[in-house]
Structure 1
Amino acid sequence: MKVIPIFFMACLISACSSNSNTETGDEYEYIETPTSDQIADLLDDDRDGVINARDLCPGTPQGSEIDNDGCGEYLKTSQEMQIRVLFANDSDEINPVFTQQLSELSEFLEEYPSTSIELQGYASRTGTAEHNLDLSKRRADNVRRVLLQNGISPNRVTIVGYGDTVLASTGTDETSHALNRRVTATVVGYKGEVKKEWTIFTTLPKS
């Protein structure tokens, strides 16, 4: 008589276990699978190989050598560019022949916004040292004014005047004097590798 109840109890336990598994399976089917939100920006707008989420220097010029943060390396030394504006004797006025070339210089600075530039003014030895120093500064300042008129930020362009202390030519003829009445430019520092350069010349006065 005791065998039947034991068998009956075993069936009940088995049935409960089966129902429990079935209910659990149904619950899993109705649980909504969570979806992860995409927080990081996986795009690479400047195409430098570093995604936007990790790029600390967006807008890097294409072809620049960059580090893991998407930034180009700073130059350790300044680089003098091939720019030369020549002036008439005892004058700080910029000849219109340089207008297009100075526009190209402005475009260069706009293309590389991390660039700053120093303009150096010079004079020939045809006047007093004090006068030539002032004249050289005014020449550099006038070139700076053109760059600012073209939209370049003032804090990116500095000037320095050397007067007649640094000569491009040591001769005493008119050609040598003309070469010494000049403004040159030096790129103080920039990111990446910039290969563009420009040259500004003018015709010398006829003898």
Structure 2
Amino acid sequence: MKKGFTILSVLLLAGCSSQGIVTMQDTSPQVNELRDLDYDGVIKAREKCDETLRGAAVDNDGCPQDKTVKQSFRLNVTFPNDSSELRPSNYAKLEQLADFLNDQKNASVTIEGHASKVGNPAYNLTLSQRRADAVAKALVNDFDIDASRVDAIGYGDTVPLNDEDSEYAHDVNRRVMATLSGSYSTTDMRWTIFTVN
């Protein structure tokens, strides 16, 4: 059986050898640009979006894909006892928040005023509202943030950061928290081995 298989193989190979060899032209003209000039994985002949951000996820035309991102920005501004006056040192924090709002035009911010448990709860509620209003007013008047994007709420002494009856606890509870959230579009990036999330 093995000898017959070998003879058959030799006959088949011999039959193929009688055909002539056809040679191709030395060169063929290149009709389209086949390089990927912006390194997005799409050749120039199909590219519809030049200069794609390196690492961006792209469609078949080389155009970047967008994704919607929700992001939060937390701000902690503290106040002296029985005061709603902003300290000069707080303006650097407010500037960071204003820059974020200017960058993310669809985002809005909620300013939350808080007070320590020292004193009358009704008075603390009013004081916390004045603190929230002071921060909101500074964002609108000093940093040109549209008033429709800023909301101010006073919580009084109902949401303390620290429940202890100490000077430190009272100090950290006299604060304004600003929670900013909103959706914005950004370029979706391709997954790599270095991608964290």
TM-score, length basis structure 2 = 0.59
Aligned counterpart, 1:122: 114
Q: Is 1:177 paired with 2:170?
A: yes
> What's the offset of the Cα at 1:109?
0.7
Aligned to 2:88: 96
Contact residue 119 and residue 160 of structure 1 kept, 8 A: yes
Q: Given the alignment of the two structures, is residue 73 of structure 1 paired with residue 65 of structure 2, yes or no? A: no
Q: Secondary structure at the match of 1:124?
A: coil
**Corresponding residue number in structure 1 for 2:149:** 156
Q: Measure, in 2, the Cα distance between the counterparts of 1:96 and 1:106.
A: 16
Q: Note the C-alpha offset of 1:138.
A: 0.5
Structure 1 or 2: more strand by fraction: 2
Q: CA–CA distance in 2 between the matches of 1:144 and 1:49?
A: 39
Cα deviation, 1:80-131, whole Å, max 9, x if unaligned, reads 5331000000100011111122112111111111110101000000111110
Task: Classify the secondary structure of the residue corresponding to 1:94.
Answer: coil
Larger radius of gyration: 1
1:1-49 Cα shifts (integer Å, max 9, x gaps): xxxxxxxxxxxxxxxxxxxxxxxxxxxxxxxxxxxxxxxxx889x9799
- What is the TM-score when the length of structure 1 is the normalising length? 0.56
RMSD (Å), alpha carbons: 2.9
SS at match of 2:134: helix
Choose from 133, 143, 147 the match for 2:139. Answer: 147
Please give the secondary structure, in 2, of the residue aligned with 1:108: helix
Q: Percent identity?
A: 36
Aligned to 1:107: 99
The 8 Å contact of residues 116 and 190 in structure 1, kept in 2 or not, is answered as: no
Whole-angstrom distance in 2 between the partners of 1:122 and 1:139: 8
Matched with 2:30 is none
1:189 aligned residue (182, 185, 192): 182
Unmatched runs of 5 consecutive residues or more in structure 2:
1-47, 59-63, 187-197
Q: Which amino acid aligns with 2:68?
A: E
Aligned counterpart, 2:128: 136
Q: Number of paired residues?
A: 133
- Counterparts of 1:43 and 1:107 in 2: how far apart (Å)? 30
Structure 1: any 5+ residue segments left out of the alignment? 1-41, 51-62, 67-71, 194-207
In structure 2, give the amino acid aligned to 1:179: V
Q: Distance in 2 between matches of 1:91 and 1:147?
A: 18
Letter in 2 for 1:140: A
Instruction: Tell me the equivalent position of 1:37.
Output: none
